[in-house]
Amino acid sequence: MIHEIFPVGPLQCNCSVIGDEHTREAMVIDPGDEIEDVMAVVQRHGLTVKQIVITHAHIDHIGGASKLKRLTGAPVLLNQNDNALLKMLDVQAAWIGMGAPEKVAIDASLEAGAKVCAGGLVADVLHTPGHTEGSICLYFAPEQKLIAGDTLFAGSIGRTDLPGGSYKKIMQSLHGPVLALPDETVVVPGHGPLTTIGQERETNPFLVG
Ligand SMILES: [Zn+2]
């Protein structure tokens, strides 16, 4: 598995490029901004982008999706419960002092239990509402890797005070599908350093006790 993780945009969203080293097919997760850098990583590895996956419709995660789609022809995938947030990208841009971004059209909704593939790599979609209604995590079971979006961070969890947020729901998501994963699972949060499920189960102040 090729996996490059790099922060993009003013809020330093962790963008992932994940590729199958045999077929050179790839998915890009959360191309929030700096699409030139995303394309440079794609080209350096000789990859073809087959899927653009958005963990949730906050602008720092989705802002560059239209540009990346134009450059690659790949479909943009997002859980439909974030459609309301998707319609207010201009409002979100104003929150963080950015110019209004390009509109993003979603090609398909990612539902709980769906699978997303790039070559031989397969990720299970976990619907994990709470940070937003349509937040998802992607779990690569053979590689024991979780792309967590803004649901889980090293030592913290996603904020729930923005529109569509719910503390009750994020706790249900975390104590449900997320903490059901094996301790060894490497977690790639939407911002900041990597962690593991075991580390967070033991030490995350929002999850212990
Ligand atoms: Zn977010």
Which residue carries 């995303």 as its tokens?
38
Ligand 1 center–CA 13 separation, angstroms: 9
Ligand 1 center–CA 57 separation, angstroms: 7
Query: How far is residue 156's CA from residue 170's CA, in Å, rounded to a whole number?
Result: 12
Ligand 1 ion: Cβ-proximal residues, 5 Å cutoff: 58, 150
Ligand 1 center–CA 22 separation, angstroms: 33
Q: What's the pLDDT tens digit per position in 136-146?
A: 999 999 999 99
Ligand 1 center–CA 131 separation, angstroms: 7
Q: What's the pLDDT tens digit per position in 80-119?
A: 999 999 999 999 999 888 888 888 999 999 999 999 999 9
- Give me the pLDDT at residue 96, please: 84
Query: How far is residue 186's CA from residue 209's CA, in Å, rounded to a whole number?
Result: 22
Ligand 1 center–CA 129 separation, angstroms: 11
Ligand 1 center–CA 93 separation, angstroms: 13
Q: Is 28 helix (H, G, I), strand (E, B) or coil?
A: strand
Query: How far is residue 174's CA from residue 184's CA, in Å, rounded to a whole number?
Result: 16
DSSP per-residue letters across 175-203: IIIITTS-TT-EEEESSS--EEHHHHHHH
Ligand 1 center–CA 23 separation, angstroms: 32
Query: How far is residue 12's CA from residue 123's CA, in Å, rounded to a whole number?
Result: 24
Ligand 1 center–CA 50 separation, angstroms: 24
- Give me the pLDDT at residue 97, please: 85
* 45: amino acid identity, one letter: H
* 23: amino acid identity, one letter: T
Tokens, residue 108: 């398909």
pLDDT at 209 over 80: no
Between the alpha carbon of residue 176 and those of residues 32, 90, 104, 170, 207, the distances in Å are 28, 33, 30, 9, 12
Ligand 1 center–CA 145 separation, angstroms: 20
- Give me the pLDDT at residue 172, please: 98
Ligand 1 center–CA 190 separation, angstroms: 8
* Summary mean pLDDT of the chain: 96
Radius of gyration of the chain (CA): 16
Cβ–Cβ < 8 Å for 8, 21 = no
Ligand 1 center–CA 202 separation, angstroms: 24
The angle formed by the CA atoms of residues 54, 153 and 90, to the nearest 5 degrees, is 40
Chain-centroid distance of CA 44 in Å reads: 22
Q: In this prediction, what percent of the chain has a pLDDT beyond 70?
A: 100
Q: What's the pLDDT tens digit per position in 28-82?
A: 999 999 999 999 999 999 999 999 999 999 999 999 999 999 999 999 999 999 9
Query: How far is residue 209's CA from residue 203's CA, in Å, rounded to a whole number?
Result: 10
Ligand 1 center–CA 7 separation, angstroms: 14
